[in-house]
Amino acid sequence: MLITMNNLLWVLGSVLALAFLGAGMMKLAQPKQKLAASGMGWTEGVGAGTVKLIGALEVLAALGLTLPAVLGLAPALVPLAALGLALVMAGAVVVHARRSEVQMIAVNVVLLALAAVVAWGRFGPYSF
C-alpha cells in the first residue's frame, strides 16, 4: 500500500501528539523534585511554575495536533500547534546544550524536525 503525504502527516502528528501528551501530563502531575530524580535534571534550574507551564503547553499542543482536524473545528490550529511544538523543542535544545546533555539534544532535534515537517505540510501543500 502506498502511503500518501497526507497520511504520513497524520501519522507524524498522531505520534507527536501521543508523545507530548504523555510528557506534558507527567510534568503537570509530578512535582519537579520527582521529575529531576527521574532524569529530568533540567527541572532543577527552573521554577516549579515553569515546569508546569511547559507541561501545559505540551498538552495543549498535543491536543491541537489532532483534535481540530478530527472534529472539523478550526483545522488551521493544527499547523500552529506543530509550530508551537517546534519552538518548544528549539528551547529544549538550548537548555540541554547548556547542560551538555548530548543525548537529549539529539532527541529534541528529532522531535523538532518532525514537528517542523507537520507544520510545513499543514501550512502548505497538504493543509486541511
The CA distances from residue 54 to 1, 29, 49, 124, in Å, are: 38, 12, 9, 27
pLDDT given at position 86:
97
**pLDDT tens across 28-49, in order?**
999 999 999 999 999 999 999 9
The DSSP secondary structure of 50-107, one letter per residue, reads HHHHHHHHHHHHHHHHHHHHHHTS-TTHHHHHHHHHHHHHHHHHHHHHHTT-HHHHHH
Burial of 28 by CB count in 10 Å (0-12 exposed, 13-18 middle, 19+ buried)? Answer: middle
Task: Give mean pLDDT, residues 77-103.
Answer: 96
pLDDT band at 3 (very low <50, low <70, confident <90, very high): confident
Mean pLDDT of 90-117: 96
Q: How far is CA 31 from CA 34, 82, 88, in A?
A: 5, 27, 20
pLDDT score for 128: 78
Residue 6 has pLDDT above 80, yes or no: yes
Return mean pLDDT, the chain. Answer: 95
Cβ–Cβ under 8 Å, residues 108 and 86: no
CB of 68 closer than 8 Å to CB of 77: yes
Would you say residue 1 has pLDDT above 80?
Answer: no
